């Protein structure tokens, strides 16, 4: 059998993404390739959801060389069984196409797994600042800290801490006064540093806020209190990251891919990559060590010439499981961190801000226009982070300007990432301009209560991540987790966007709930379309890659409130198992 990484993954003939939601009923006949050689593997014995509107169900699927060669009734597909065919009994479980990452940060997932866990319940246990300090103290004794002389923690959330605020440098000084200590906010858009870390990062009372960022001050309005926002946070973190050898970077990348695979993903994203990260993926791809397929989007914020964009890796064709798909821009920050750029003030402004505080943008309008015009001139697909509706206005205005100069290319598939507060009029404009939305609907569960009570107020919060509004317009979209902002769980996304239940069990915007079959499509076929991969993956069809996820139950049959309890039993990449749960 050919190793799955010995196959160059190239597009195959196929149609455009369907925007209808298909017929139901079991296939009466088999659909197969003309070649009638025996299959290597046949899957049967459970529900098979194809995500193909024309053939929504199958009893069996046959695979050879990492591709699907037949599907349909068990009797017909079993005609492809030969002496060496392996028959895999699903044992009543449910098989779907492998999940596809609409937006995430695979390398950072590996980094998160190698730092102190500061996530709140239900993901972990950090519910107040003393618990956060205790977790960092415990991590400070680890072998990693002994080796690299810096304490990193990831995932604290002031919205979930009992104190309802960020920790300060003084509290992190309790962890260590000699070692730098950095606690990264769950959004990834803020961090807190102890006094030693601020010193090593060169941040003092005389430091000026960088463009697109804020150094939060103490009551004297001068002395940094340890909290850094947006570009201030990112620049300081980069100064403190330890220098890692190639083997150590590779290990972080592999760990990130393994965590994605454990959640049923077979194609993932590097949603904002730097040179060192893309060099890691290139090494792993050259060595045929990619666990899942990965598409990278180098950061265009700090440079006009991101690493890798002018190499053969920038391609629509994967090489050994990796390619660069385009570039990434960020136009604002985080709504839960209250740095997103809104058109109307925050419901409750962050500490120290006036009542009319609306957040802020990464770029002035002129620079935003220039960056997008550059993408049009170069022919680069882009993904733009827009959480606040003012940031969305900025993006849409810049795209209009670029299309007036360079023309509208319907094949571009540019993406607005997050779309958290996008308005109805903006969705109309997005449809007109050909902008593909990738929603962060998982926010309904993780931060829905916070958005309602503190960030946006009840009325605006009801429409956060308005996927149903896009659906009414016939717009395809993806859903994402933005890992490591949240765990890379497609199941949690599925439950969140279908039920829109918050942590307190409130329903945040019932009119924006979407059906289960649509949610599954946004995690598979539409996410594939977003990345020009719909002819290769995203549905179980003859000729497509044999990328599957096996769940313990059928998401189309379980009660809606039990969707969050679905389990990934196994993940299969091109016919080969890359993850198996240790228990059913």
**Model pLDDT for residues 337-358, shown as the tens digit of each residue:** 899 999 999 999 998 899 999 9
Same domain as 206, residue 119: yes
Contacts of 141 (CB under 8 A, 6+ apart): none
Cis ω before 65 (30° cut-off from 0): no
For residue 151, give the CATH number of its domain: 3.10.310.70
**Would you state the pLDDT for residue 109?**
92
Give the max Cα distance, the chain: 79
**C-alpha span between 566 and 571 (Å, rounded):** 14
Same domain as 208, residue 116: yes
Chain position carrying tokens 């009570």 = 453
Q: What percent of the residues of the chain are helix, what percent strand, and what percent coil, each to the nearest 5? A: 30, 20, 50
Integer CA distances (angstroms), 146 to 131, 140, 251, 448, in order: 22, 8, 18, 39
Residue 465 forms part of a structural domain: no
CB 97 within 8 A of CB 545: no
Among 195, 219, 240, the domain boundary falls at 240
Same domain as 112, residue 59: no
**C-alpha span between 555 and 522 (Å, rounded):** 14
Residue 261 forms part of a structural domain: no
- Parallel, antiparallel, or unpaired: how do β-strands 265-273 and 224-230 relate? unpaired
**Environment class of residue 33 by beta-carbon count within 10 Å: exposed (0-12), middle (13-18) or buried (19+)?**
middle
Strand partners, 237: none
Among 184, 207, 240, the domain boundary falls at 240
Residue 315 forms part of a structural domain: no
Same domain as 121, residue 85: no
For residue 18, give the CATH number of its domain: 2.30.40.10
- Using N-to-C axis directions, what is the helix angle for 389-406 and 365-378, rounded to 10°? 50
Is residue 434 helix, strand or coil? coil
Same domain as 130, residue 57: no
Q: Which of 554, 480, 476, 545 is nearest to 516 (CA)?
A: 554
Same domain as 122, residue 54: no
**Would you state the pLDDT for residue 35?**
59
**How large is the C-alpha radius of gyration of the chain?**
24
DSSP states along 66-81: TEEEEEE-HHHHGGG-
**C-alpha span between 99 and 252 (Å, rounded):** 21
**C-alpha span between 101 and 479 (Å, rounded):** 8
**C-alpha span between 533 and 538 (Å, rounded):** 8
- The per-residue pLDDT string of the chain (584 residues; one tens digit each, 9 = 90 and over) reads 333 333 322 222 223 333 333 323 333 345 776 557 899 999 999 999 999 999 999 999 999 999 999 999 999 999 999 999 999 999 999 999 999 999 999 999 998 888 999 999 888 899 999 999 999 999 999 999 999 999 999 999 998 999 999 999 999 999 999 999 999 998 888 999 999 999 999 999 999 999 989 999 999 999 999 999 999 998 999 899 888 999 999 999 999 999 999 999 999 999 999 999 999 999 999 999 999 999 999 999 999 999 999 999 999 999 999 999 999 999 999 999 899 999 999 999 998 899 999 999 999 999 999 999 999 999 999 999 999 999 999 999 999 999 999 999 988 999 999 999 999 999 999 999 999 999 999 999 999 999 999 999 999 999 999 999 999 999 999 999 999 988 899 999 999 999 999 999 999 999 999 999 999 999 999 999 999 999 999 999 999 999 999 999 999 999 999 999 999 999 999 999 999 999 75
Same domain as 145, residue 29: no
Is residue 217 helix, strand or coil? strand
Contacts of 302 (CB under 8 A, 6+ apart): none
**Environment class of residue 142 by beta-carbon count within 10 Å: exposed (0-12), middle (13-18) or buried (19+)?**
middle
**C-alpha span between 254 and 252 (Å, rounded):** 5
CB 584 within 8 A of CB 553: no
Among 240, 267, 287, the domain boundary falls at 240
Residue 417 forms part of a structural domain: no
Residue 510 forms part of a structural domain: no
Residue 46 forms part of a structural domain: yes
Same domain as 74, residue 146: no
Q: Which of 514, 490, 518 is nearest to 500 (CA)?
A: 514
**Would you state the pLDDT for residue 485?**
87
Domain that holds residue 221: 106-240
Is residue 192 helix, strand or coil? strand
**Environment class of residue 389 by beta-carbon count within 10 Å: exposed (0-12), middle (13-18) or buried (19+)?**
buried
Residue 10 forms part of a structural domain: yes
CB 527 within 8 A of CB 101: yes
Same domain as 129, residue 72: no
CB 398 within 8 A of CB 414: no
**C-alpha span between 172 and 153 (Å, rounded):** 11
Domain count, the chain: 2
Same domain as 216, residue 152: yes
Integer CA distances (angstroms), 544 to 162, 170, 480, in order: 49, 56, 23
Residue 178 forms part of a structural domain: yes
Alpha helices in 230-364 (DSSP H): 231-240, 246-262, 275-286
Query: What is the number of other CB atoms lying within 10 angstroms of the CB of residue 512?
Result: 22
Same domain as 195, residue 83: no
Same domain as 110, residue 92: no
């Amino acid at each position: 059998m050919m190793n799955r990484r010995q196959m160059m993954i190239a597009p195959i003939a196929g149609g455009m993404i369907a925007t209808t939601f298909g017929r139901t009923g079991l296939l009466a006949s088999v659909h197969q390739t003309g070649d009638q050689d025996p299959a290597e593997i046949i899957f049967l014995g459970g529900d098979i959801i194809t995500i193909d509107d024309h053939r929504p169900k199958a009893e069996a699927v046959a695979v050879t060389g990492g591709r699907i060669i037949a599907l349909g009734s068990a009797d017909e597909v079993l005609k492809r069984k030969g002496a060496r065919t392996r028959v895999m009994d699903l044992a009543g479980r449910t098989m779907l196409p492998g999940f596809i990452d609409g937006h995430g940060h695979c390398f950072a997932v590996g980094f998160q797994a190698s730092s102190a866990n500061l996530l709140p319940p239900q993901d972990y246990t950090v519910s107040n600042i003393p618990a956060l300090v205790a977790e960092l103290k415990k991590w400070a004794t680890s072998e990693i800290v002994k080796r690299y002389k810096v304490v990193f923690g990831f995932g604290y959330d002031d919205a979930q801490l009992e104190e309802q605020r960020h920790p300060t440098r003084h509290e992190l000084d309790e962890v260590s006064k000699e070692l730098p200590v950095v606690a990264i906010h769950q959004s990834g858009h803020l961090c807190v540093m102890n006094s030693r870390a601020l010193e090593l990062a060169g941040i003092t009372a005389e430091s000026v806020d960088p463009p697109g960022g804020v150094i939060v001050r103490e009551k004297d309005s001068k002395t940094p209190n340890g909290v850094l926002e947006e570009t201030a946070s990112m620049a300081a973190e980069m100064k403190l990251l330890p220098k890692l050898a190639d083997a150590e970077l590779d290990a972080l990348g592999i760990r990130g891919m393994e965590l994605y695979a454990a959640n049923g993903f077979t194609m993932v994203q590097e949603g904002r990559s730097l040179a060192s990260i893309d060099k890691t993926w290139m090494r792993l791809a050259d060595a045929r060590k990619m666990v899942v397929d990965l598409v990278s989007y180098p950061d265009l914020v700090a440079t006009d010439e991101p690493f890798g964009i002018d190499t053969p890796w920038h391609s629509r064709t994967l090489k050994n499981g990796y390619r660069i798909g385009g570039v990434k821009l960020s136009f604002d920050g985080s709504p839960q961190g209250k740095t997103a750029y809104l058109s109307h003030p925050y419901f409750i402004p962050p500490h120290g801000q006036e009542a009319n505080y609306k957040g802020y943008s990464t770029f002035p309008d002129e620079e935003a226009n220039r960056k997008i015009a550059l993408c049009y001139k170069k022919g680069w697909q882009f993904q733009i982070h827009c959480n606040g509706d003012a940031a969305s206005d900025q993006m849409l205005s810049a795209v209009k300007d670029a299309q007036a100069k360079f023309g509208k290319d319907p094949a571009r598939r540019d993406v607005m990432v997050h779309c958290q507060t996008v308005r109805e009029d903006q969705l109309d404009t997005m449809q007109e301009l050909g902008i593909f939305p990738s929603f962060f609907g998982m926010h309904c569960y993780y931060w829905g209560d916070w958005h309602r009570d503190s960030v946006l107020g009840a009325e605006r919060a009801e429409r956060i991540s308005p996927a149903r509004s896009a659906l009414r317009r016939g717009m395809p979209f993806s859903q994402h987790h933005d890992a490591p902002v949240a765990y890379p769980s497609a199941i949690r996304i599925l439950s969140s966007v279908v039920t829109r239940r918050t942590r307190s069990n409130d329903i945040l915007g019932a009119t924006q709930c979407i059906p289960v079959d649509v949610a599954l499509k946004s995690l598979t076929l539409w996410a594939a379309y977003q990345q020009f991969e719909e002819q290769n993956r995203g549905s179980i069809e003859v000729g497509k890659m044999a990328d599957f996820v096996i769940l313990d139950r059928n998401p189309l049959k379980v009660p809606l409130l039990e969707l969050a309890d679905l389990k990934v039993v196994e993940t299969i990449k091109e016919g080969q198992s890359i993850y198996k749960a240790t228990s059913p």
